[in-house]
Amino acid sequence: MYMQRISLLDFRNYSDISLDLGPGCFILAGDNAQGKSNFCEAAAMLSSMRSFRASSERELIRWGSAGGFAKIQASFQRAQDSCGVSIVISETKPAILPQSAAVPLDEQLSAGSARKKVWLNDAPKRALDCVGAVKVILFEPADLDIVSGAPSIRRHFLDVTLCLQSRKYCKNLSQYQRILTQRAALLKRIREGMDSAGSLTYWDEQLALHACAITAERAAFVARCLPYAEEFGWKMGIAALKPEYIPSFLAEDTVHGNQLFLEQLTRLRKREIAQGVNLLGSHRDDLMFLSETISLGVYGSRGQQRIAALALKLAELRVMEDIDGDRPILALDDVLSELDTTRRKALLNHVKNYTQVFLATAEPEALPDDFIQSAVRLRVSQGNIRQW
């Protein structure tokens, strides 16, 4: 699939731009803080319906915008049809409310928040129903953390990816969060003698059911990524690159898995109550990146970690393509600067035949001439985008 046209209105530092696009590679060249990442953020938002970096969606509205709202609008050509997606983020309340005991806490917390409205082919929809209607895979500098950061970052990556792919997973995951919250509270209550340990039975079963399903889905996805990641690893000079899902519990299959899970849970009973914490489940799983048998998260160089993270994202794109029969759009934000010339060429060769690629870089002169000639060259400067 590819984006045919995009318009940004009062989004971040873009006051009003429209771009006609199409299949192929697009180089977004520009100095830092000119709007390259903002463009990539908008493209990714059209796919996931949320910003990967805004702590509050209110940040997305351009400072000083007259209308008090930001709008992202784009049309896409998919394998079978075309599709239009629009997102409007508007201010709901002034950012500062007088702090007072008389103001209920929820009103205080929602002060300065934003409202998001979404349209799919001009029909208003819930954001959740538009997730994954079009698919944009974004790789940006902070994605290095998928390999080198905390396990929660890796789980989060898998959750976001699988939510893009399946509504069922998304629902399962939100129920799982609810179960974890209630069960942790119950463990603490049991520790304080306010509830009996027998009360755990219900939550144990719910936990087993959801944890086994979530872990199985994540592991299956990582297994599908493996051949693609490995292939890319060889091209980029990492031997036998292998992403491997590490469940925190034993589960052979979902039928017997539940029983096995409950047995492991029983063995942890005393510790769980003493600590008041859920010690078993998908929220304690991890994802490991191996080269041969060496963990890149622990022993890899920064360069190797970046390549491993990139390999996973590119594999994600291929797995989605296998499932949907349509290749997602790829956006690479500032990934070239940390690669040497050989690897830079290998990466560009790998992605140059993708349906649509956005390549944001501060050093376009470092790109090979033939690549520059074959791509659409765009210059990003102070919230404007022009051809060069």
Annotate each residue in 31-70 with x if it binds other proteins (CB under 8 A) or - if it does not, as one string. Answer: ----------------------------------------
Q: Does 107 bind other proteins (CB under 8 A)?
A: yes
175 binds other proteins (CB under 8 A): yes
Q: Does 103 bind other proteins (CB under 8 A)?
A: yes
Stretch that binds other proteins, among 124-132, 155-163, 196-204, 281-289 (CB under 8 A): 196-204
Q: Which is nearer to other proteins, 259 or 349 (CB)?
A: 259
Specify whether the backbone of 35 is left (phi greater than 0), alpha (psi in -120 to 50) or beta. Answer: left
Q: How far is the CB of 203 from other proteins (least distance, A)?
A: 7
- Confirm or reject binding of residue 104 to other proteins (CB under 8 A): yes
In this complex, which beta carbon is closest to other proteins, that of residue 64 or of residue 193? Answer: 193
Contact 3, 337 (CB under 8 A): no
Residue 178 near other proteins by CB under 8 A: yes
Greatest pairwise CA separation for the chain in angstroms: 72
Q: Does 179 bind other proteins (CB under 8 A)?
A: yes
The binder of other proteins chosen from 56, 80, 202, 239 (CB under 8 A): 202
Of residues 287-316, those binding other proteins (CB under 8 A): none
Query: Is 283 among the residues that bind other proteins (CB under 8 A)?
Result: no
Q: Minimum distance between the CB of residue 200 and other proteins, rounded to whole angstroms?
A: 10
The residue from 16, 145, 195, 244 that contacts other proteins (CB under 8 A) is 195
Query: Any contact of residue 182 with other proteins (CB under 8 A)?
Result: yes
Task: Pick the binder of other proteins from 128, 150, 185, 240 (CB under 8 A).
Answer: 185
Which range, of 77-85, 186-194, 315-323, 341-349, touches other proteins by CB under 8 A?
186-194
Q: Name the residues that contact other proteins, by CB under 8 A.
A: 100, 102-104, 107, 175, 178-179, 181-186, 188-189, 194-195, 198-199, 201-203, 205-206
